[in-house]
Structure 1
C-alpha cells in the first residue's frame, strides 16, 4: 500500500483505502475494523494522502503529509503524546515541534486534529507506510 492508495472524503471521518475506480466515481473501503465499503461519486471531495500538504512559511510554501508523518514517527514512534481531543494549544505546540515553519495563519486546529487522527489510523492499519517514509516521492526521485 502507498499514500496514493489512501484517501480522505470530505464530511466522512477517518481514512479510506481506494479499491477501484468506477464510471462515476471510486469504490472505497474504510481503514478501520468495520471495513465498510463506500461508493464516492464525482461530486464528493476526495483527497489522496500523497497530494495533501501542510502550509509553511518557508520558500517552498508547504510540506507533504507523508514527510510530516515520517518526522512524527522518527520523533515519537507510536505515541505522539496527544490525540485529536487534546487542547488547541497542545495541538499547536505539537505541530510547531514537528514542523517549526508551519503557517499558523493558514493551518487550523481542525487540520492538526486530522493530522493526529490520521497518523494514529495509519500507525494501526498501515505502519509500513510511516516507518518507510514517503515511498511515492523516493520512487519519483530515482526515475530522474
Structure 2
C-alpha cells in the first residue's frame, strides 16, 4: 500500500478529503487534508467513506481495482504531477483513466468519478509520503500482526467497560460488584 489510505476519508456533505483523528461524542474528529489542517467534527449522520475501501469498476463484473492500487499505478506512471486536473476536458480525463486503468468499465465509471479520482490523488500525493513496495509490505505486515494479536485491544471503551479479568478482580474485592442473584439475596437475608 504505497499511500496509506486507511485513515483518509471522503465525507458526505463536506468537500475535500479528511484524515480521521479520533471518535468524538457526536461523530468523529477529522482534520482537513490540506495545508491548514483544520479540525472539525463530522456528524454521525454524515456518511464516511474510507478511501482504502473504494474500488474502480472493471469490464469484468466480478473484478474491481482498489483505489490504493490505482494510486500506485498513477504514481508509477506520472509521479506526483498529473497531466490532467479535475477541470480538464472529458477526452483528456477519459484518456488519462484509460492509461492508468485500461480495463476500467466505461459504462459504470462516470466522468465525475474520474474528476474525483484526479482531485483525490492530488490531495493525497501533496500531503502523504509515497512508500516503496517493500516499506508498504512491512507496514502492512505490522498492521496485520497487531490486528491478529489478542492482547491488542483495537476498540477502546476508554475504561468505561472493564475487561473480564478486571471485572473478576472487582467482584472478589467488592461483594456488591459481582456474584449471582442467589448470593446477593442470601446476603440480604443475613442482614
CA distance in 2, matches of 1:110, 1:49: 16
Secondary structure of the structure 2 residue equivalent to 1:3: coil
8 Å contact from structure 2 (residues 80, 126) kept in 1: no
Aligned residues: 140
Stretch moving more, 54-63 or 29-38: 54-63
CA distance in 2, matches of 1:115, 1:23: 31
Look up the match of 1:132.
132
The structure 1 segments of at least 4 consecutive aligned residues displaced by more than 3 Å after TM superposition are 131-136
Higher alpha-carbon Rg: 2
TM-score normalised by the chain length of structure 2: 0.66
Secondary structure of the structure 1 residue equivalent to 2:20: strand
* Alpha-carbon distance, 1:13 to partner: 2.0
**More strand, by proportion:** 1
Look up the match of 2:72.
70
The correspondence for 1:81, drawn from 80, 83, 87, is 83
Q: Which runs of 5+ in 1 are unaligned?
A: none
TM-score normalised by the chain length of structure 1: 0.86
8 Å contact from structure 2 (residues 70, 101) kept in 1: yes
Look up the match of 1:17.
19
Q: Which runs of 5+ in 2 are unaligned?
A: 146-191
